[in-house]
Amino acid sequence: MNPFLERLQRGVLVADGAMGTMLYARGVPFDQPFELLNVTNRDLVVAVHVEYLRSGAELIETNTFGGNRFKLGAKGLADRVRELNRAGAKLAKEARDVAGVPVFIAGSVGPLGKPLKPFGLVTPEEAYQAFREQVEALVEGGVDLLLLETFSDLDELGVAVRAARDCTDLPVVAEVTFDEEGRTLRGHVPAEVVQSLEPLGVAAVGANCSVGPLPMVDVVAAMVQVASVPVTAMPNAGYPARVEGRYVYSTPPRYFAEHARRMAELGARVVGGCCGTTPEHIAAVAEAVRGLRPAPEPRVVVTLPRKPEPPRPPEEATELNRKLGRQFVISVEVDPPKGTGPTKDLLGARLVKERGADAVNVGDSPLGRVRMSASALCVLIQQHVGIETIIHFTTRDRNLMALQADLIGLHALGVRNVLALTGDPPRAGDYPTATAVYDTDSVGLVRILKRLNQGVDLAGKPIGQPTRFCVGVAFDMHPDTLDREMRRLDQKIEAGADFIMTQPIFEPETLDQYLRRVGSPPLPMLVGVLPLQSSRHAEFLHHEVPGIHIPDWVRERMARAGNQGREEGLRLAAELLDAIADRVHGVYLMPSFGRYEVVAELVARVRARLGLSAQVGAPRPS
337 and 262 part of one domain = no
81 and 152 part of one domain = yes
Which CATH number do you get for residue 473?
3.20.20.220
User: What pLDDT band is residue 434 in, cutting at 50, 70 and 90?
Assistant: low
When divided into structural domains, the chain yields a total of 2
Residue 297 inside a domain? The answer is no
Query: Do residues 406 and 379 touch, judged by C-beta distance below 8 A?
Result: no
Q: Does residue 78 register a pLDDT over 70?
A: yes
Tell me what the mean pLDDT of segment 218-239 comes to: 94
Q: Does residue 571 register a pLDDT over 60?
A: yes
Residue 200 inside a domain? The answer is yes
Q: Is the pTM of this model over 0.85?
A: no
153 and 231 part of one domain = yes
Task: Say what the pLDDT of residue 249 is.
Answer: 78
* 98 vs 308: CA distance, rounded Å: 56
Of 446 and 29, which is predicted with more confidence?
A: 446
Tell me what the mean pLDDT of segment 392-399 comes to: 88
The H or E element spanning position 271 is strand 268-271
Task: Say what the pLDDT of residue 294 is.
Answer: 56
User: What is the residue range of 416's domain?
Assistant: 319-531+588-610
Q: Does residue 349 register a pLDDT over 90?
A: yes
378 and 275 part of one domain = no
285 and 362 part of one domain = no
Which CATH number do you get for residue 230?
3.20.20.330
Of 301 and 531, which is predicted with more confidence?
A: 531
Q: Does residue 398 register a pLDDT over 60?
A: yes
270 and 196 part of one domain = yes
* 161 vs 158: CA distance, rounded Å: 5
447 and 371 part of one domain = yes
Q: How many other C-beta atoms are found inside a 10 Å radius of the C-beta of residue 294?
A: 16
277 and 397 part of one domain = no
7-21, 306-320, 484-498: segment of lowest average pLDDT: 306-320
User: What pLDDT band is residue 119 in, cutting at 50, 70 and 90?
Assistant: confident
Q: How many other C-beta atoms are found inside a 10 Å radius of the C-beta of residue 582?
A: 12
Looking at 289, 310, 343, the residue that finishes a domain is 289
Looking at 269, 289, 309, the residue that finishes a domain is 289
Query: Do residues 484 and 156 touch, judged by C-beta distance below 8 A?
Result: no
Closest CA to 344 of 353, 334, 354: 334
281 and 330 part of one domain = no
Of 246 and 6, which is predicted with more confidence?
A: 6
User: What pLDDT band is residue 437 in, cutting at 50, 70 and 90?
Assistant: confident
Q: Does residue 336 register a pLDDT over 70?
A: yes
345 and 260 part of one domain = no
User: What pLDDT band is residue 300 in, cutting at 50, 70 and 90?
Assistant: very low
Residue 583 inside a domain? The answer is no
The letter for the amino acid at 617 is G
102 and 236 part of one domain = yes
Task: Say what the pLDDT of residue 66 is.
Answer: 96
Task: Say what the pLDDT of residue 622 is.
Answer: 36
Residue 570 inside a domain? The answer is no
**Sheet arrangement for strand 13-14:** 13-14, 268-271, 231-235, 204-209, 172-176, 145-151, 104-109, 59-61
Query: Do residues 21 and 277 touch, judged by C-beta distance below 8 A?
Result: yes
Q: Does residue 493 register a pLDDT over 80?
A: yes
Residue 615 inside a domain? The answer is no
What is the chain's mean pLDDT, rounded?
89
Looking at 289, 311, 340, the residue that finishes a domain is 289
Of 314 and 168, which is predicted with more confidence?
A: 168
Task: Say what the pLDDT of residue 614 is.
Answer: 38
Q: Does residue 556 register a pLDDT over 70?
A: yes
Tell me what the mean pLDDT of segment 116-125 comes to: 88
DSSP assignment of 105-138 equals EEEEE---SSPBTTTSSB-HHHHHHHHHHHHHHH
33-37, 80-84, 302-306: segment of lowest average pLDDT: 302-306
194-203, 333-342, 409-418: segment of lowest average pLDDT: 333-342
Task: Say what the pLDDT of residue 445 is.
Answer: 95
Query: Do residues 146 and 185 touch, judged by C-beta distance below 8 A?
Result: no
Residue 245: alpha-carbon gap to chain centroid: 28
User: What pLDDT band is residue 139 in, cutting at 50, 70 and 90?
Assistant: very high
527 and 431 part of one domain = yes
Residue 302 inside a domain? The answer is no
Tell me what the mean pLDDT of segment 212-229 comes to: 94
Residue 97 inside a domain? The answer is yes
Tell me what the mean pLDDT of segment 607-618 comes to: 60
Residue 539 inside a domain? The answer is no
* 531 vs 567: CA distance, rounded Å: 9
Closest CA to 173 of 230, 134, 128, 131: 230
